[in-house]
Amino acid sequence: MNKAAPIPRPIGDGERPSPGRWTQGTPPDNVRLGPNTVVTDDLAFKRFHSNAVDALIIGANCTMDGVHFDLGLNGRMVIGDYCYFTNAVLLCELEVRILSPIPTFIHSRLLNASPTQSLVHPWAKASLVHKF
């Protein structure tokens, strides 16, 4: 007798990805966290003052461990998928984009972006780089 090939099973428990979360409570209303994304640290949003719609967007499968988001009143920040930041302070008065066609790791850095700067991974495709 020929046995049928086993049915491929998804890696993990087969459930949907968990929604993004902040371990210390509910993030501000204008923050969007992608699936499987986690933000730690009780002071992560202490200096978050942005009134912009979707002021902070963090992609899927990211870890923001000990990261402080310091966004000014009109600040907007976009962080792509598969980013892992530890103990960083991210400052923004207008706009910061950290794209991630490959996994991005930032550890213990102070990122300060002026309104005319945009942070892009050094190996990002040229078509993804936004120039002012």
Q: What is the pLDDT of residues 91-131, one digit of tens each?
A: 999 998 888 666 555 554 445 544 434 444 444 444 444 44
Domains of the chain, residue spans? 21-128
- How far apart CA 89 and CA 108 sit, in angstroms, is 8
CB atoms within 10 A of CB 4: 5
What 70-79 contacts at long range (C-beta under 8 Å, 24+ apart), as own/partner pairs, is 71/47, 73/49, 74/50, 75/49, 75/50, 76/50, 76/52
Tens-digit pLDDT profile for residues 18-54 = 899 999 999 999 999 999 999 999 999 999 999 999 9
Tens-digit pLDDT profile for residues 75-102 = 999 999 988 899 999 999 999 888 866 6
| Among candidate residues 74, 31, 20, 75, the one with its CA nearest the CA of residue 54 | 31
